[in-house]
Structure 1
C-alpha cells in the first residue's frame, strides 16, 4: 500500500483536532496535597536549580575542528550544522524560515558578564549572523562574583540558552531576562516582567526543582501567570530535569527523592525531557536516539508524574498516564557524550569552547523551533500541548516525532553515608512515556502540522484554567 503524504493526511488530523478540542472543557486542579515531608521542609526562600554539564574542549579558533567532532571520539559533540541536520531544521532555514521578526524570551538568574562577546565568538566560529540580544534586569543587577559557584553555574546556563536558541532560529531576537537571584520569588518576578511586558512569542525556562519544594502560594501564583501568558499567545517551555526520575530534596542536603520538576509539570508548560542523540559527527545525519542516562556523569533526563496537578484533558487517553499530569511532553538531545558546543568565558580570564549537556539545552532549542513556527504561521503559536498530543495520537506521529523506545531514566547517587541509593526510573516505550514523552522532533515535518493545531483564544484557554 502506498504511504500517504503529510499534506494528504492533514485533513484527518484537523478533524481529530476539532473533536478533541471540543472535549477539552475541564479544569486543571491542584490535588489538594502539598506535603513536603518526604522531601524536606519547604523554605519561603527556596531556589530553583540548574545543572548544566560541560567539558572543556579548547580555545575558539576559526577553522579548527575539535577532537570531539569525530565519529571515533570517546566523547562526541555537535555544532549547529549537525543539530540542524539531525532534527531536520535546515530545510526550513534554506527557505528563509529563520525566526525573522519573532522574539525568544529566556529566563535565567544572576548574569553572564561576557555573554555578548561569547555570542559573537560563537557566531564567528560556526558561521552564524549576530542576532539582536536585549538584556533585562527587572529587579536590579546583582554584581557578578566569579568566586561564587552558583553564579558561575548560572553564567554557563545563560551562555548555553542564548547561543543554542540562536543556533536554531538565527534571525530571532533574543530577550534575556535575568532575575536578581535564583530564589523562587525572584525567578517568578522576572517571569512576571517578561509576561506582562509581553516581551516575546515563546519563553524558555532551563531550571527546576521538586514540586513539593515550591511554596503552595507561589505555585498557584505561577500557574495563574502561565495562564496569562497563554492568553497572550506566549508558548512556555521548561526543562524536565537532569537527575532522571528524581529531584534534590528540599532541605539542601545531597539527597534525592522521586519527583517530577516544577515548573515543567505545570499544565500550561511544555516539559522537555532528554535523549542521547546518535548522529554523524560530521554531516549530522540522524541515526537514532535513546533515553539520556549517563551514570558516569551522574545525570539522566527528567520525567515522571506530578503530585500537584490532576491529569490535564489533553493527556486523557494517553497510555501510561493515570490521575496526575505526566511529563515530559517532548524531548531533545541532552547528553554530554553527544552534547553541543558553546563558547564561554567561564572564569573571566578568557573564552573556551565547551561541550554542554542537559535538558536545559533542549528547552531553548524548542523555543527556537517555536520561533520558526511562528514565522511560518505569521502568528504566535501559543499553547502547544494539545497539539502535541493530537499529533502523538494520530497517524502522523511517526513522521513528525522520533519515537524513542530504548532506555530508562532511573537515577543512582551516593548519599552522605557513602551508600549508593537508586531511584527507579521510567522506561521508554512505543508512543508517549515518562522518560521522553512523544520523543524528539522532525522539525520540517512537525511545524506545518503543529501550526494548525494551536490554542490561543481566550475562550478555549479559559477551559484549561
Structure 2
C-alpha cells in the first residue's frame, strides 16, 4: 500500500517546456580549476572509450530524506520501519519528461535504447562513448592529465556543457571534471610493518618476570590484556569495548559487508591463519565474494591486499559467525598513454553503489576504508553519491566510512611540505575534510590508540565545505565550537559544515596475516571495519528480539545512544602547520562521540 501511495504522488504533473530538439545552444554545466598536483600531459586519444554516467534529477529526494530521518530517529513512532528497494527506487526515480529529453539528446548522437545502461531507479544513464563523441556531446575537450606524485594518468576535462533544452534535466555527468584519485594512499592504511621484535620482547618479559598481565579497563569492563598496548587483536577490542563472550547467533538474516577497490582482494588462506590465531571457532569458515564490474578475486597469496585482509579479518572476526560479504569493485583511475586506447574507468564507489542498490537485501552493516579529499571531488558528484548512501540508509543499512588519516590536513608529517590549499584557483590555506566521510548520511569513524585511549594524531577530523551541519549534530557540535577559543583557526574551516568524525575506535598496530605472515597495520581503515563488526553484533541482538536493524546510525548515536560511548578527552590531530583540533569532553573533531561500549549500547538499542 505504501508503494502505491508513493507512485501516485510521483505521478503528479511537472511543468516543462516543449519537447527537446536534437540540437541547440550548449549551456555551461560545470567548470573547475585542475586540482593541485595534476599537470596537462597531452590531448586524449579520439578513440579512447569512456563510460559516461549521466545523473538525472531526483525531484522527490527531499521526501526520501524526510522518510530517512523518520525511520532513523529513535523517538519517532516510525523508527525502524525501513523501506523496500522498490519503495526507495520510486522515491528517487526521475520524472518521465527528464528521461525522454535525455534519451532524445542521446539519440541525436546515435545512441539507441539498447545502448543505454540504466540504474535500478532509472536515475543514472550510462553509455560507452569514444572521446571524439563525448567532446561533441559536451562541447568540450578531453585531455590526458598526469599526477606528479604518483605518475598516474587520467583522461578528464575541466569544463563541460550540455544543450540548453536538457540542462535542467541533468544533475551531473562524469567522468568529466572528477580528479579524485581514490588511490591506495587514500585508502587510509596508515602504517604497515612486520610484527616488531619490541612487541615480542615485551610479551616475553611479561611472562618471564611475572609483570602485570592485565590493565584496568578504563571503560568499566573486565581487565584488558597488557599486550593490547602493543598489539591489537579481536580479543583486545572485545575486552576494551565491553563485549567479552559476545558471539552472534546469527539471527534472522543478519549480514555484514565490506567494500574493496583498486584491485584489492582478501586472501582466504591468510584469513584461516588469522582465525587460527585469534578466532579459533571460525576456522574453516569463509565469506561470500561478489565481483562488481569485474572486481578481482586472485587467491595468489603473494598478491593479497593489505587493506582487504585487514577489513575482512577484523570485521568478520569480531562479528563471527554473522555471514560476511566482500565486494570487489573493479576500476583503477589511471589511463596509460602508451598502451593504445584502453577503456577508461569510472569512480568505483558509484559503480558499487549502482550494484548494491539494485539488489533487494544488502548487508545491514557495511564498512568502506577508502576516500578522497573532499575538494578533489566535484560538488555535484559528491552530492549525488551522498544521495545514494541515503537510499541505503532508508533501506536499513548502516554505512561506515573511515574518516581519513590526514588529521585536519593532507597527512604529510612534514609541516613544511603540507599542501593544505584550496582547489578553486585562490590557493588559500584550508583544512581538508575527506569524502565520502563528509556525507551526512554515513557514519564517519576516526581513530584512537593505546589504553587508556587517546585520539591518534592522524585521525581525520574537521568540517565539510560541501555539506551543511545536519540537525542531529547541532547540540554536540555546537557545544564543541562554543568551547573553542575565539578566533581559533578562523577561515581554515567551515564551522557550519557537517562535522567529522561521528565515532572512533582503535586504529593502530592491528595484528593481521598478510601473504602468510603476521604484520601490524594501522589507520582509520582499521577503525571502520572494527566498528562495523560491533554494529553487526548489535543488529544480531535486535533481530533476535524481533526488532529491525539499526539502519542509518547517526540520529541514534547523537541522541539516545550517546551515553553508550567512551568519551575520549586527550589527543589532537595536527595538520596544515597547526596542532589541529583537541579531544575534549563530549564530541570533538578527532574522536567524535568516542569509542563504543557494547555492554551499554546493547541495552540502549534493544
Same fold (TM over 0.5): yes
In the alignment, which residue of structure 2 is the partner of 1:51? 188
Segments of 5+ residues of structure 1 without an aligned counterpart are 1-15, 23-39, 60-64, 279-287, 294-299, 346-350, 412-420, 452-465
Segments of 5+ residues of structure 2 without an aligned counterpart are 1-72, 80-148, 150-157, 159-175, 207-212, 214-225, 334-345, 421-430, 482-494
Once residues 320 and 252 of structure 2 are traced to their aligned partners in structure 1, the CA distance between those partners, rounded to angstroms, is 8
Task: Work out which of the residue numbers 216, 223, 233 in structure 2 matches 1:79.
Answer: 233
Q: Is the 8 A contact 1:101 1:171 kept in 2?
A: no
State the aligned residue count.
Answer: 366
Q: Is the 8 A contact 1:244 1:409 kept in 2?
A: yes
Q: Is the 8 A contact 2:448 2:459 kept in 1?
A: yes
Question: Is 1:384 the counterpart of 2:553 in the alignment?
Answer: yes
Structure with greater Cα Rg: 2
Q: Is the 8 A contact 2:368 2:402 kept in 1?
A: yes
Question: Is 1:317 the counterpart of 2:456 in the alignment?
Answer: no
Report the alpha carbon displacement of residue 370 of structure 1 after superposing the two structures with TM. 1.3
Q: Is the 8 A contact 1:209 1:248 kept in 2?
A: no
Q: Which moved more, 1:65-74 or 1:314-323?
A: 65-74
Task: Work out which of the residue numbers 351, 365, 369 in structure 2 matches 1:206.
Answer: 369
Q: For residues 377 and 17 of structure 1, do their structure 2 counterparts lie closer, same or farther at Cα, with a shift above 3 Å needed? A: closer
Deviation sequence 1:374-430 (CA, Å, 0-9, x none): 11111321011011100466xxx2xx211111111113xxxxxxxxx6244100110
Deviation sequence 1:408-462 (CA, Å, 0-9, x none): 1113xxxxxxxxx6244100110001011110011121122135xxxxxxxxxxx
Report the alpha carbon displacement of residue 66 of structure 1 after superposing the two structures with TM. 4.5
Q: Is the 8 A contact 1:240 1:264 kept in 2?
A: yes
Q: Is the 8 A contact 1:177 1:194 kept in 2?
A: no
Task: Work out which of the residue numbers 165, 177, 190 in structure 1 matches 2:352.
Answer: 190
Equivalent residues in 2 for 1:328-339 (5 A)? 328-335=501-508, 339=509
Q: For residues 309 and 20 of structure 1, do their structure 2 counterparts lie closer, same or farther at Cα, with a shift above 3 Å needed? A: farther
In the alignment, which residue of structure 2 is the partner of 1:358? 523
Q: For residues 443 and 392 of structure 1, do their structure 2 counterparts lie closer, same or farther at Cα, with a shift above 3 Å needed? A: closer
Once residues 76 and 353 of structure 2 are traced to their aligned partners in structure 1, the CA distance between those partners, rounded to angstroms, is 34
Q: Secondary structure at the match of 1:320?
A: helix
In the alignment, which residue of structure 2 is the partner of 1:344? 514
Task: Work out which of the residue numbers 555, 562, 566 in structure 2 matches 1:402.
Answer: 566
Report the alpha carbon displacement of residue 92 of structure 1 after superposing the two structures with TM. 2.6
In the alignment, which residue of structure 1 is the partner of 2:257? 105
Q: Is the 8 A contact 1:111 1:144 kept in 2?
A: no
Once residues 305 and 501 of structure 2 are traced to their aligned partners in structure 1, the CA distance between those partners, rounded to angstroms, is 25
Q: For residues 103 and 364 of structure 1, do their structure 2 counterparts lie closer, same or farther at Cα, with a shift above 3 Å needed? A: same
Report the alpha carbon displacement of residue 124 of structure 1 after superposing the two structures with TM. 1.3
Q: Secondary structure at the match of 2:367?
A: strand
Q: Secondary structure at the match of 1:165?
A: helix
Question: Is 1:120 the counterpart of 2:293 in the alignment?
Answer: no
Report the alpha carbon displacement of residue 86 of structure 1 after superposing the two structures with TM. 1.1
Task: Work out which of the residue numbers 415, 427, 433 in structure 2 matches 1:260.
Answer: 433
Task: Work out which of the residue numbers 18, 25, 33 in structure 1 matches 2:75.
Answer: 18
Task: Work out which of the residue numbers 422, 438, 450 in structure 2 matches 1:277.
Answer: 450
Once residues 446 and 306 of structure 2 are traced to their aligned partners in structure 1, the CA distance between those partners, rounded to angstroms, is 20
Question: Is 1:172 the counterpart of 2:322 in the alignment?
Answer: yes
Report the alpha carbon displacement of residue 248 of structure 1 after superposing the two structures with TM. 6.3
Q: Which moved more, 1:305-314 or 1:170-179?
A: 170-179
In the alignment, which residue of structure 2 is the partner of 1:460? none
Once residues 391 and 276 of structure 1 are traced to their aligned partners in structure 2, the CA distance between those partners, rounded to angstroms, is 26
Q: For residues 383 and 143 of structure 1, do their structure 2 counterparts lie closer, same or farther at Cα, with a shift above 3 Å needed? A: closer
Question: Is 1:304 the counterpart of 2:462 in the alignment?
Answer: yes
Determine which structure has greater relative contact order: mean sequence separation of CA pairs < 8 Å that are 6+ residues apart, divided by chain length: 1
Report the alpha carbon displacement of residue 100 of structure 1 after superposing the two structures with TM. 8.0
In the alignment, which residue of structure 1 is the partner of 2:532? 367
Equivalent residues in 2 for 1:89-168 (5 A)? 89-93=243-247, 97=249, 101-112=253-264, 115-126=267-278, 127-130=280-283, 131-141=285-295, 155-168=305-318
Report the alpha carbon displacement of residue 135 of structure 1 after superposing the two structures with TM. 1.3
Question: Is 1:429 the counterpart of 2:563 in the alignment?
Answer: no
Q: TM-score, normalised by structure 1?
A: 0.71
